[in-house]
Structure 1
Amino acid sequence: MRGPFRLPAGRLCILFSSPSFGKRTGTVFHSVSDSPPGLPARATRRRGPFSRRPGGLGFLVCWAGPVLMGVLANGFLPAAGTAQLQSVVEIRVSAVVDGPVWPWDPTTSDGLAAPAESLRVAPLPGVQVEVLGSPLSTTSGPDGRAVLRGLSPGSHRIRVTHIGYRDEVFEVTAANGLTSRSSVTLTPDPVALTGFQVDGVRARTSAGGIVLRPEDASATVRTVADLVETVPGVTVVRRGGPGAPATPSIRGSAGDQVLVLVDGSPLNAGLTGEADLASLDLSDVDRVIVVTGAASARYGAGALAGVILVETGARRPSSAEASATVGAFGELTGSLAASHTLGRVERWRLSGRVQQEEVRGDFPHPVPDFRGGGEARRLNARSRAVRGHLALTRSGPSSQGRIRLHGEGLRRGSPGTVVQPSLTGRRDEDRAGVSGSWEAGTTAAGWRVSGGANSQEAHHSDPSPPFGPPYRSTTEIRDLNWRGELWRESGPLSIQAGLSGGIRRVRASSLDHGALERVRDVGLWIETSGELPGASFPVFPIPGLFRASAVVRGDVHDLVESVVVSPALGLEYLNGGARVGLRWTHGFSPPSLADLFFQEGVLVRPNPELRPERVRGEWSLEAGWAGSLGPLRPEIQGTLFQGDVDGMIIWFPDHRFIWSPSNYDVRRRGGSFTTGTRIPAAGLRVEGTLERTQVLYTGPVFSGQVVYRPEWQGSVTAGWQGERLDLRGTMRRQGPRRSVAGSELNALEPFTTLDLAASFPVPLPEGRGWEARADLGLRNALDVRASFLADYPLPGRWWTISVHLSRDP
């Protein structure tokens, strides 16, 4: 057995070795117990010199009361006088302080003690320290010290983040059996965290969250829709080119089975339950957390297939920014942003942004053979959007709060389908809202409250439709949501509890007169989690760390008859760069108002008898490894899941061709495999993903894959980053898709797209404080003419050129 291995604390150990270990064969060690409880003890040499030589063989015997424990070791001992029998990286984190140091004092009214003397650098507690490409993470203690244990030998990239400071990424080297020490100093960059900022990190064990940051994406990734489709298991269903609606699907789900929260407020439409991610530009986004798999145990109704958490903010302390984009299809976008710190101690910050985007959107496309064949041109696809927000943030030593006002005006043409195109259809939407959050405490104990109020008005009209009489429908939605939670940690155990709710008022001319105008929901949840080092197992010590979690939530919803209870269990094992996780979760999604109360018309009928969609036990097995092989940094990640859906709501015509929604049971299973490698010295990275998702009818009426759910998908991404140039390329493959339920007739052919991107700095005159960057993007470089949905074609090749200007103080 080769080290590293663990010694029992406070025990006497003797190493019997061959001559290659040294002249003596009875080297005596004594383990000490100054490590934190539950972590491996260290071994110090009491007498007898030794050295590490290849081929050395030894037998280590430890006296533990009446029990003798023996470990066979082959060449594990370092040549120094102290043997550290585990790879440990210790990082000291400090912060640049522009003004006085404000120590925390809970006895004062505002939590601040009298300022200490002016300092430039001070230890920073509560800093998140994570190993990139690995699930290992920790936080710094009161002295600013963070310790990462169990790293595999070799180089690792470390990301250090903290509220109010700029992120830092650097490399450390972990040596087998040694402690590596490093230090980092953070500079101020206050960032306001909303009510869901920490949720994704805290729920990672039980909910499997994947964190995406816009700054890590390529130039072709400009909206949240572009960003989330890089996650295995996520498909974005687009109904046209740039500016057209784009809804997410996770593991073969429908759009209304994915809950999308922006700063804690739901983005899902009040009528259909779907979320349009194309309206979310990345300019204001700090990060996006994607939770794949049923997550109602943590987030309630609508999270049957997963959750997408969008967190805005991350403006710099005092900055100005401007950007402009031109592109194909008449695209023209411009934005201005600024933020300013108020007060000498930088506890208040005011930020804002305005943006205007316009796309003509017309493009030629082929018509499927079963729709008549030939060529056509997509017309009336123009889109124009004006967006803006204003935010005020307060950051203190142990608390932070934020209030944000936002608004959007969206004007879109409604081009119809391939079979029934419209030249006069319109879809106009206006949205406005306010959201706020306040958080206080530390990682050991604290509380958080958040909420939001939103208003939306939508007008859909067509004075000369291709089928039926002229129409004009109006929808007014007002919603109020709130959330509160508490957490407390005691050693390796933690507990969280929360209460959330909302009320939504909907008035729509497209709904029947008997439709509900007010929909309410309330949920209560509690989660407990803990960590246990494998070395603490009394009989068979195991290297690594175990994490376990349990969540249960109860929801009351106006569109569901009874209380819905959603439990979830999670177990995770970490050892160096290896990770294995097992999750068991529940999920539910109530029927939408459009499904229940859509106004009956020609060839359309609602179904007020619909049941909620449910996943009564989804199993997910995840395994991954990230390590070092010479100059390479390989990574492997695999996922298997099985989660049948009871009562999936699907619209389908009857024998009279009258469309109506019904509940269908669906068997759902699949998995994904991702592998890749980085070469940091050369700036190269390549990654490939293969996915399979079976979504099969189980009833007697239909069989086979559900319509528009590709069974196979895949992608390959490659990139090179130099000092002044960043090149990216992504190739995606979409498998065949059925367009008719229960039949392979008129199935859509698979297609492949290639996206290319380049970014580089633009030189500007020195001394003025401005920086410039240019982004070049080429979407669908192979000019493939295809469509994910039969009646909504996608454009061919299109390009964008963007220039970004920014100024720091």
Structure 2
Amino acid sequence: MRWSHLAGQWLCLALSTSGFAFAQQAAEPPTQDTASSEPSEGEPLLVPTVEVEEAPVAAEPPDSATRRDPSGALTLIRVDEFGGAARDTAAMLSTAPGVTLQDLGGYGQSKSVVVRGASSNGTLVLLDGIPLNGAGGIADLSRVPAALAERFEVLRGGAGARYGSGGLGGAINIITRRPGANARVAGELSYGSWDSGLGWLSASGPLAGGEALLLLHGGTSSGRFPYLFDPSPTLPGDALLERRRTNNDARGAGGLLRLRRELGKGISADLLGELSFDERGLAGTAQNPSEDARQSGGRGSANLRLSGTLPGGVQTNARAYFRRERVALSGGGPWSEADPQVQQVGGVEVEGQVLLGGWHSVSALLGVGGESVTAAETTEDSEGEPTWLRASVMAMDEVLLWDGQLTVAPSLRVEQAGPYTLLSPKVGVTALLPLGFELRANAGRSHRAPSFLELYVRQGTLLPNPDLRPERALYADAAVVHRSEVSFASVGGFASLYEDLISYEAYPPGAARPYNFANARVMGLEAEGEWRPHRLLSGAFSYTLTLSSDLQRDGRFYLRELPYRPRHKLAARVLGGPRWLTGRVEWVAQSAHFLTRDGAMSLPGRAFVHAGVSSTFGSGTELTVSCEVKNLFNARAEDFVGYPLPGRAVYVSVAGAFEREAR
């Protein structure tokens, strides 16, 4: 068995480093309401496409990211650009500039992202517009399999004016797969190291005068990867021991149903239903492992959207959504005796946009909804099970000057989140310059209302604090963009001032309680680009420089860098070759960063190299065989709180599709 595992590694390595040709120019990603086209023979895989939309584009729906924030720092990432096995939602998102991954290691374990230095609970994550941030304010991306997604819209910078509370550092909208007009059956099955298996199967096509998509997905992993353990970290130079991760297994399954139909008079209806179930071990850190702590959960969501163009040229988007999420803990630890926690979120939004006089475009949104959570222990301030009413009004005006060479887009959102009234203004500017250059700039303010858990719910030794104030962010950014027929590049800077940040502090004799403890400053640079010098060669890169400062007036913390914010982060990807032999290499690196606010503990920098090769045959009936080597050089690394990350892993996948054109 060991020989076959090593043979598989060498086979994949040989395939990924030989016969290397290069991939063709990337195409523009389709908008949410455009049917995707199939690749023709000889067409290679594509690289991530970034900030390539022009404003205003009347054909786009009002809720698309480029319409909601036309001057924003936006990266569009298509899932099919990451061909091969073991595709991971969080890992794909981390290739965008300004985005840092916090990963607890392996399939199914907790994964979240930090955008522009904001905490994980300061990044708003949505599934087709449905907010996924849990009761604690953090969206666990491990619970959103990549099989569901068609593409990701990553908006960096304060998103309060356009998306509401929670978007201090940015917003991520996960766009699910869409049905098509042709009958199509597709699927993929992957298997690799540590008994990790992933699979999905979909069927789409015409149904009852409309279009339908049904997708089923599942995955499992033992998570028993080896890692090096230091039994005496206070004694430098002592021998490291190799151990295997235990209680690190995970499994999950779910499905997606999407129906689309034209209702006439330019109005279309889109219905989405999603269910998922997951269960995993909570292994703990290397120094403090947990042998029996477990977590199980489930999510169900529904989204009905009506969109189209009304008389007078008013583009309208109306939707009603609902999400119910359940999380239960068992086994060891202070939270094991708690009852399952259930969060419910629902609401209705109506958004419209109209072009007036040919020189400015007015948008408006009205939304109302509610949120509730059940928990084992709540305080008297919650009056039983906490329930909030949410309501918001947003307006934006895009003013086009000098025949559209300059666009100024002021916007304002007023939001009521439970007892908190939040005001989020923003202004964005886009200027078209000679020689294919473009200037984009934004400034504004965003908020994050405290979560139910921070306000009302006691979780073991974590106590609530009903006196918390909302977190706030003042932000500004500017970027110069250049595009040509074969390349795209963007370089810019950003600065954010985070105020009234919420953090858990020691609360004697043995508990912790959240407080609005301080302000923080984050600034930096972002660069990203694509290069397509030949139809068989394409590449993409992103780089982020993040400079953070703790502004709490305490000598232990003042002006120190914030924990979990690496100063440098780089991602680069090269693709090459025709469809019958496409190779890819990816490099993801980040610098060392602190693990504590006083700088006493730090995490070394790391760099991962991934390589793979794919062969695709056929057109109407298509078969793809892929081999992927993750962490090619077996770099040893830890993340978050000293949690060991997996070493080298090998995955083999087989994907197929059969499509019949509609008559």
TM-score, scaled to structure 1: 0.70
Q: What amino acid does structure 2 have at the position aligned with 1:434?
A: A
Q: Distance in 2 between matches of 1:361 and 1:787?
A: 15
Distance 1:586 1:793, change over 3 A: same
Mapping of residues 187-586 of structure 1, within 5 Å: 198-219=63-84, 222-270=87-135, 272-317=136-181, 318-342=183-207, 347-367=209-229, 370=233, 374-375=240-241, 376-395=243-262, 396=264, 398-441=266-309, 444-462=313-331, 465=332, 471-490=337-356, 491-512=358-379, 514-515=381-382, 517-533=386-402, 545-560=405-420, 563-575=421-433, 576-586=435-445
Q: Is the 8 A contact 1:197 1:311 kept in 2?
A: no
Structure 2 partner of 1:55: none
Q: Is the 8 A contact 2:581 2:615 kept in 1?
A: yes
The superposition leaves residues 762-791 of structure 1 with CA deviations (integer Å, 9 ceiling, x where unpaired) of 56xx9xx52111222211111111112133
Q: Is the 8 A contact 1:221 1:227 kept in 2?
A: no
Q: Is the 8 A contact 1:461 1:473 kept in 2?
A: no
**1:753 CA displacement:** 0.7
**1:297 CA displacement:** 0.6
Q: Is the 8 A contact 1:559 1:591 kept in 2?
A: no
Q: Distance in 1 between matches of 2:617 and 2:192?
A: 19
Determine what percentage of the aligned residue pairs are the same residue: 21
Q: Does 1:752 align with 2:611?
A: no
**1:240 CA displacement:** 1.5
The superposition leaves residues 686-738 of structure 1 with CA deviations (integer Å, 9 ceiling, x where unpaired) of 44433211221112211311111111222332221324222111112111111
Q: Is the 8 A contact 2:95 2:542 kept in 1?
A: no
- SS of the aligned residue for 1:329 comes to helix
Structure 1 partner of 2:453: 594
Q: Distance in 2 between matches of 1:485 and 1:163?
A: 16
**1:410 CA displacement:** 0.7
Q: Distance in 2 between matches of 1:654 and 1:469?
A: 18
User: Which range moved further: 524-533 or 716-725?
Assistant: 716-725
Q: Is the 8 A contact 2:338 2:375 kept in 1?
A: no
Q: Is the 8 A contact 1:196 1:309 kept in 2?
A: no
The superposition leaves residues 549-602 of structure 1 with CA deviations (integer Å, 9 ceiling, x where unpaired) of 010010111152xx2211100111123521111111211101122222342755
- SS of the aligned residue for 1:547 comes to strand
Q: CA RMSD in A?
A: 2.7
Correspondent of 1:677 among 531, 535, 556: 531
Q: Is the 8 A contact 1:559 1:590 kept in 2?
A: no
- Runs of 5+ consecutive residues of structure 1 not aligned to the other structure: 1-154, 171-194, 537-543
Q: Is the 8 A contact 1:265 1:481 kept in 2?
A: no
Q: Does 1:641 align with 2:494?
A: yes
Structure 2 partner of 1:618: 475
Distance 1:436 1:495, change over 3 A: same
Distance 1:161 1:383, change over 3 A: closer
Q: How many residues align?
A: 602
- SS of the aligned residue for 1:609 comes to coil
Q: Is the 8 A contact 1:239 1:789 kept in 2?
A: yes
Structure 2 partner of 1:607: 465
Q: Distance in 2 between matches of 1:786 and 1:371?
A: 18
Q: Distance in 2 between matches of 1:750 and 1:156?
A: 32
Q: Is the 8 A contact 2:390 2:415 kept in 1?
A: yes
Bigger radius of gyration? 1
Q: Distance in 2 between matches of 1:168 and 1:162?
A: 16
**1:751 CA displacement:** 1.1
**1:756 CA displacement:** 1.3
Q: Distance in 2 between matches of 1:257 and 1:606?
A: 19
Q: Does 1:761 align with 2:628?
A: no
Structure 2 partner of 1:163: 33
Q: Is the 8 A contact 2:609 2:630 kept in 1?
A: yes
**1:473 CA displacement:** 3.4
Distance 1:419 1:598, change over 3 A: farther
- SS of the aligned residue for 1:215 comes to helix
TM-score, scaled to structure 2: 0.85
- Runs of 5+ consecutive residues of structure 2 not aligned to the other structure: 1-24, 41-59
Structure 2 partner of 1:661: 514
Q: Does 1:725 align with 2:587?
A: no
Q: Does 1:773 align with 2:624?
A: yes
Q: Is the 8 A contact 2:62 2:316 kept in 1?
A: no
**1:513 CA displacement:** 5.4
Q: Distance in 2 between matches of 1:160 and 1:322?
A: 22
Q: Is the 8 A contact 1:641 1:670 kept in 2?
A: yes
Distance 1:531 1:489, change over 3 A: same
Structure 1 partner of 2:484: 627
User: Which range moved further: 715-724 or 403-412?
Assistant: 715-724
Q: Is the 8 A contact 1:159 1:168 kept in 2?
A: no
Q: Is the 8 A contact 1:196 1:263 kept in 2?
A: no
